[in-house]
Structure 1
Amino acid sequence: MRRLSLWTLPVVLALGLFLQSYENAWEWWRSRELFAREVPASAAASLGGAEWKLTGLRRVAERSDGRAVMLLDMEAVVRDPEAFALLPCRLVLEAPDGRRWSPQFLTPSEVNRLPERRGLTIPTCTQALASKPAAGATLRIGEGFVLPAGTAGEVRPVLSLPAERPRYLRFQVPG
């Protein structure tokens, strides 16, 4: 019985490692952005229960250290509220070399430089999803970014939602 136990120990350990790594690999697959769908400038694309459209990506300020402050505006028309309300929303700016920048908190003085933004509270992507809008609702979404000097003109917005991963949208910027 002792020899049998010793011979089955490596088999049981290998099986346990396989089952643990399978679960981790599946979770990795579901959380990664692997397959991009290019969205032409000024066009809308469907993702995660909504039609998404890039309405603006503007440089609004420059900080004293040379970093650029950018505001991203998107519009989402909700088609399937259940698929749309799954969190978290991942909205980033991506450079051609693959570097990515996540949204950052911007001071009100940086955001209010645009006349159309003064006095408005525009929800972030996560706030918009968490509001659980009804089908047919049109949401305006805004995010702020701080980019290193010299990268502001070459970035593109990337949108990823849990209901659609590993697929995601990469928007072309007009101009």
Structure 2
Amino acid sequence: MSRLRNIGWLPLLCALALPVFHCFPGGVVMEGGFVDHAGFIPEATLTNNAPFDYVCPDPDEVKRRQELKEQGLPVPGEPPVRYVSVTSYQGGCEQTASSSVYYLFHLFPATPPMDPHYALGLAVQKLEGDTMINIKTWHETHYYSILGHVRVFKVKGDVIRFRQRREN
């Protein structure tokens, strides 16, 4: 009789352990909603009617540089971008970057803190632009069972370069 009583605890133990270990190998991602400003002052991205161009990645230039690299020829040092005027810009050149912090066992921050300005700088520096406009930001949380979770701050927007600075 006591043996049957011990077996009765097995399904209960499995049911209690399942929520802890169901995402152990991978992770669960929960995306937060958009954050309006997230520490950015909207006036900081105003152009004050200064002439600017949108900076977009150029896939044709990327292919050309890959061919140059395969041939052993020198590759230009500047990023493979193209400049699109405000009047002809149709969208599709948005850049995304992120900054994150990992909490070990959901309590202790194990990496440097999230920095929204670092995330913005990554997106702008990738294309060697001047600033970003039309900024959207959001948070994501990636849960990794009992190991901890990662809070990710993401930023997305259009990278621009002022014409006056580019001509100098």
TM class, shorter-chain normalised?
0.3 to 0.5
Specify which structure has the higher proportion of helix.
Answer: 2
TM-score (norm 2): 0.34
TM-score, normalisation: structure 1: 0.33
Greater C-alpha Rg: 2
